[in-house]
């Protein structure tokens, strides 16, 4: 008869007597499911086997996994709380969190954001703030690109501005068109030209987060 080893206590036991396949007893099975929640720090049952959060912090019951927003919702939560995610460093690693209202109720997340339009993605209006109703929206790829912060390691101080010789060149890509806005003596002048062109193109739809800050 095959002997296997409990994933909790490492005790050898007969495979046919196993509890939930890899545990020698119900006690060991429950102990394995209890882990330190990455949000509250308490040793509780996790929301599910892949969740970094406990059931109290992240109740997943009564959620329709076939809902079109479910995967987007789950990705939002995991990139804020699961260090194993590749993009965690840009979210949870920087202190970005999900508001209590959305963590506790998936339906509130759906209600606050409304129906997702074609090819739209979840975007934070202010990238330094958390996921919450007043800071999130459905955005196009173009809006996401305009709204993103500076890339890690970049030497550029302002969006669309780079040094060229003794001056500073300003360029802007809008939709599929590239705009060359000129060469300027100072970075401030170059960054101002970027802001002015963006305001001209977007009008009232231009958000403060799209513009260079001085």
Name, in order, each residue with C-beta under 8 angstroms of 27's C-beta and a sequence gap of 6 or more. Answer: none
pLDDT in tens, 47-58: 887 788 999 999
One-character DSSP codes across the chain: --EEE-TTT--EEEGGG-BTTTBSSHHHHHHHHEEE-TTT--EEEBSSTT-SSBTTTS--TT--TTSTTHHHHHHHHHHHH-TTSTTGGGTGGGT--B-HHHHH-HHHHHHHH-PPPTT-EEEESSTTS-B-GGGEEEE-HHHHHHH--PPTT---SSTTEEEETTEEEEEEEETTEEEEEEEESSHHHHHHHHHHHHHHHHGGG--GGGSPP-
More confident residue, 148 or 96: 96
Is the predicted pLDDT of residue 137 greater than 90, yes or no? yes
Query: Is the confidence at residue 18, as pLDDT, over 70?
Result: no
Output phi, psi for 175, to 5 deg: 55, -115
**Domains of the chain: residue spans and CATH:** 1-35 (no CATH), 37-139 (no CATH), 161-210 (3.30.730)
Distance CA(101)–CA(162), nearest Å, equals: 42
User: pLDDT tens digits for 157-171?
Assistant: 898 999 999 999 999
pLDDT at 77: 94
**Rounded average pLDDT over 6-17:** 73
Q: What is the pLDDT of residues 84-125, one digit of tens each?
A: 888 899 899 999 999 999 999 999 999 999 999 988 999 999
pTM higher than 0.85: no
Sign (positive or negative) of CA dihedral 126, 130, 131, 134: negative
Cross-strand partners of 167: 164
pLDDT score, position 20 = 63
The distance of Cα 122 from the centroid of its chain, to the nearest Å, equals: 9
Question: Does residue 75 have a pLDDT over 70?
Answer: yes
Residue 186: alpha-carbon gap to chain centroid = 35
Of 7, 103, 109, give the one whose Cα is nearest residue 55.
103
CB-neighbour burial class of residue 103 (10 A; exposed 0-12, middle 13-18, buried 19+): buried
**Any idea what the Cα angle at residue 112 is, between residues 107 and 116, rounded to 5°?**
90
Average model confidence (pLDDT) for the chain?
87
């Amino acid at each position: 008869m095959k002997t296997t080893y409990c994933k909790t206590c490492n005790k050898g036991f007969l495979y046919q007597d196993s509890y939930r396949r890899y545990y020698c007893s119900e006690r060991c099975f429950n102990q394995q499911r209890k882990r330190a929640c990455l949000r509250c720090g308490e040793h509780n049952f996790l929301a599910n086997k892949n969740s970094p959060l406990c059931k109290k912090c992240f109740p997943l019951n009564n959620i329709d996994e076939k809902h079109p927003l479910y995967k987007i919702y789950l990705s939002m939560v995991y990139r804020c709380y699961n260090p194993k995610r590749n993009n965690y460093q840009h979210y949870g690693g920087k202190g970005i969190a999900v508001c209590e209202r959305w963590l506790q109720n998936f339906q509130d997340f759906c209600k606050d954001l409304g129906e997702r339009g074609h090819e739209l993605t979840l975007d934070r209006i202010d990238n330094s703030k958390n996921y919450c109703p007043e800071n999130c929206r459905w955005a196009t790829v173009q809006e996401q690109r305009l709204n993103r912060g500076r890339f890690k390691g970049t030497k550029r101080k302002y969006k669309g501005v780079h040094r060229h010789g003794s001056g500073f060149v300003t360029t802007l890509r809008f939709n599929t068109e590239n705009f060359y806005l000129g060469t300027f003596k100072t970075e401030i002048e170059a960054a101002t030209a970027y802001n002015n062109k963006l305001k001209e193109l977007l009008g009232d739809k231009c958000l403060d987060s799209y513009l260079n800050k001085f």
